[in-house]
Amino acid sequence: MQRRVGWWIVLVCVVVLWANLAGAQETFQGVVFEDANGNGTFDVGEKGIPGVCVSNGIEVVQTDATGRYTLPVRNEMVVFVIKPAEYTLPVNEKNIPQFFYVHRPNGSPDFIQEYKGFAPTGNLPVSVDFQLLPGQKTESFKMIAIGDTQVTDHREIGYLRDSLVKELQGVDASFALMLGDNVNDVLGLYDRYLTVMGEMGIPTFYVLGNHDMNYDSQNDAYSTETFTKKVMPPYYAFNVGKVHFVVLDSIIWDGKAYYGGISEEQLTFLKNDLAMVPAENLVVIAMHIPLISYMDRAAEKHQVKNREDLFKILEGRKVLFLAGHTHTLERLYPDTTIDGWSPNLPFPQIIAGAGCGSWWSGPKDEYGIPFSYQRDAAPKGYMIFEFQGNEWKETYKIYGRAIDDQLNISFFIADRVERRLKDPALPEGIFLKGDLLGVHVVANVFCDAVEVTCSIDNKETQAMTRRSLPDPMMNWYANDLPDWMRPVGSTHTFSAPLPSTLEAGFHTVTVTVKDRYGRIYQEKRLFEVW
């Protein structure tokens, strides 16, 4: 009996010791300050900023009345400030916002070899401080969102420079948001790539893509070493107006392959982060692999496997998801239905297309830049978001075309679709009178269309039906590409039959599109009946 009591005493002592150690968790501290002179240091006379959120990648705390914060130390972590709406972030020479501190006391592991990670950072500084610059809170602002630029070599960086970057120099926007696959596995391109992107002249935030990872990492934990070193953390948050932006890493790397998913660390961070965000604010979640897409709906690796966990955390919020990855332009809403398929999403999601189109492929324009239509036959381009309070309006902008150029018109013959429309005569818009039965007008629409109609020779107007078709004209352009690059379907093509009674001669088809925001777009095309 005496012996048994002794064991209980030892057990109680162990439990108490463990509890004391847990309670004595190591912490670090810092200050968030208004950098009045812009020199990056907390000088005498400068003030700390109260109520600013800071995170160690999991916990989120607010600064006190003097701008100071305290957080638990993690063995390896990225510490970052969550920019409040009334301040701006400093940027480096490449227009990359500076808002984070990387703690890698022992550096990156030895297996990160192909593209180097971090040298040992050693002990944490006495104070991990963050500077903010004076700004002005506004409820109205613009943002540029760009999907996969995915450059493989220096020539493709030149394509990017002479198309997207050239067009966006001096753009009227507060910042740009790159939606991942910035480069195409060749992480050594990042220095020049980021320098070229910096020429847009606006602060640019980056999302991690599956082609931005260290493939020699043995696990997910170190797959983002080079991205974090060269660019920024794989997940973070910031505020502009009444919009709270959260960038997430939606890629899980198991050491051999990737799939879509959100790590437990990020889910915990998101929950803690949103506890600090007013309920009425719009939450924009930006990531690379989408929740789900029409184009890759049958491929589980190209979807966020644990998306229901996200939905639970976001329940009751006003949310917009932004994504890239699929090289398609897709707008998926809770009520979306395409050929009987529904995404079953509780929140809207916009897949913003690809800046490189279909991997910088296909015929070239007069400037030597590939037309590179995407997998759904949308031209390569970018999105312009206009925010007003917690509402948004978006426009897809095609490189080199007017902003109101929002559709292509072509034709298909029903019994020729399976032959991939390789007959070059079809896009010429010439039909024999006896072959009119089965000819359809196809409108490939790039705005968020809610109503599409067409008329022949300005006569009776008929509704066009949303139908997942490969745009015949773009398929013709892509004849020489491998099948996996060719347009195979779309969420934004509409069709209507041509009247079989048309007389021989010239005719005009007029397509009119009304978008979600009430804007009207119209295009015409001539065709002939022989």
The answer to whether residues 286 and 249 touch, using CB atoms and an 8 Å cutoff, is no
**Helix, strand or coil, per DSSP, at residue 121:** coil
Q: Is residue 421 over pLDDT 70?
A: no
In a domain, residue 416? The reply is yes
Q: Mean pLDDT across the stretch 275-281? A: 97
Instruction: Answer yes or no: is 525 within a domain.
Output: yes
413 is a domain residue: yes
* Sheet strands (E) in 241-304: 243-247, 251-253, 258-260, 282-286
In a domain, residue 506? The reply is yes
Residue 437's pLDDT is 82
Asked if the model's pLDDT at residue 80 lies above 80, the reply is: yes
What six digits make up the tokens of 295?
Answer: 């184009």
Residue 337 lies in a domain: no
Angstrom distances, CA of residue 481 to CA of 362, 421, 469: 7, 14, 18
* % of the chain at pLDDT higher than 90: 80
Number of domains observed in the structure of the chain: 1
Q: Rounded distance, CA 65 to CA 49, Å?
A: 7
For CA atoms 278, 284, 289, 293, give the dihedral sign.
positive
Asked whether residue 499 is domain-assigned, the answer is yes
Per residue in 337-380, pLDDT (tens digit) is: 998 999 999 999 999 999 999 999 988 999 999 999 898 989 99
Query: Each residue of 222-267: pLDDT tens digit?
Result: 999 999 999 999 999 999 999 999 999 999 999 999 999 999 999 9
| pLDDT(509) > 60 | yes
pTM recorded for the entire structure:
0.92
In a domain, 296, yes or no: no
Q: What is the mean pLDDT of the chain?
A: 91
Dihedral pair phi/psi, residue 273, rounded to 5°: -65, -50
In the prediction, which pLDDT does 434 show?
A: 78
pLDDT score recorded for residue 420: 42
Candidate from 184-188, 189-193, 316-320, 483-487 with smallest mean pLDDT: 483-487
Question: Is residue 419 situated within a structural domain?
Answer: yes
Q: What is the domain-level CATH number for residue 462?
A: 2.60.40.10
Per-residue model confidence (pLDDT) at position 7? 45
pLDDT band of 213, cuts 50, 70, 90: very high
> Does the pLDDT at position 119 exceed 90?
yes
Mean pLDDT of the region 388-405: 96
Say whether pLDDT at 270 is over 70: yes
Model pLDDT, residue 433: 81
Span 9-26, average pLDDT: 46
pLDDT in the model for residue 141? 98
Domain that holds residue 521: 407-529
